[in-house]
Amino acid sequence: MTKPESLPIRPRPIEVLRQATDACRECPLGARATQSVMGEGPLHAVLMVVGEQPGDKEDLAGRPFVGPAGRLFDRAAAELGWNRERLYVTNAVKHFKFELRGKRRMHKTPAQREIDACHHWLEAEIARVKPDAFLALGATAARALLQRPVAVMRERGQWHEDAAGRRVLVTLHPSALLRGDPAQREAAWTAWLKDLSAASGLLLP
Ligand code: URA
């Protein structure tokens, strides 16, 4: 049974949530993934960074953003001088969705019904961490947080508010930069740093 929206969510420890998401079969993703991947970082983090879903590396490690996209985010955070100890990093969807190409597990974008099915886990995580603000990396995260379709290219680099007044900064997912036109890479990197710098006031030591 789903919880009525108006009831506050009882905060549960992250390890309890990790076990519960690991056992979750509310959508088909859990049965194929190695394990669920919960977020990492301090409770009461200043900024909760939300990605789409774990990738291949994250699925195997059981940790968020440890693959190429995570390394790019780490580079940006370092370049901006952000204090990583104030960040909590997680995903909108807790299991890796993939299709097999030969032996390779290729990332597949989660369907809206899978994002919706996972939404209560994200809310449970938010209830536990209680961050001051959010950084949505890409359209899946932005939509999960703001509960509306988000045109990332139009809305990037700006703070938005959800219905509950939570502040969400929207930008591209780092994978978009990794996949982007190599000739545009420098410009895309500079524009991404500019988007992210809107949160620097929260994160500079
Ligand atoms: N991409 C994401 O959105 N999240 C991860 O944890 C890794 C890659």
Q: Is residue 134 part of a domain?
A: yes
The count of domains in the chain is 1
Distance (angstroms) between ligand 1 centre and the Cα of 69 equals 7
CA 7 to chain centre: 24
- Cα of 94 from ligand 1 centre, angstroms: 10
| Degrees, nearest 5: CA angle 91-156-202 | 70
67 within ligand 1 shell (Cβ under 6 A): yes
For residue 3, being part of any structural domain is answered with no
* Lookup: tokens for 193: 């740093």
The verdict on residue 128 lying in a domain is: yes
- Which pLDDT belongs to residue 77? 97
Q: 36 in ligand 1 pocket by Cβ < 6 Å?
A: no
Q: Could you tell me if residue 101 is inside a domain?
A: yes
| Ligand 1 centroid to residue 175 C-alpha, Å | 8
pLDDT digits (tens, 9 = 90+) for 109-152: 999 999 999 999 999 999 999 999 999 999 999 999 999 999 99
Examine residue 8 and state whether it is found in any structural domain, yes or no. Answer: no
135 in any annotated domain: yes
C-alpha–C-alpha distance, residues 166 and 35, integer Å: 29
Task: Find the CATH number of the domain harbouring 150.
Answer: 3.40.470.10
Q: Is residue 7 part of a domain?
A: no
Tell me the whole-structure pTM to 2 decimals. Answer: 0.94
- Residue 158 lies in domain: 13-199
Q: Compute the distance from residue 6 Cα to the ligand 1 centre, in Å.
A: 30
Q: Is 54 a pocket residue for ligand 1 (Cβ < 6 Å)?
A: yes
Q: Is the CB of residue 110 below 6 angstroms from any atom belonging to ligand 1?
A: no
Is residue 180 within 8 Å of 188, Cβ to Cβ?
yes
Q: Which residues of the chain have pLDDT under 70?
A: 1-8
In-domain check, residue 204: no
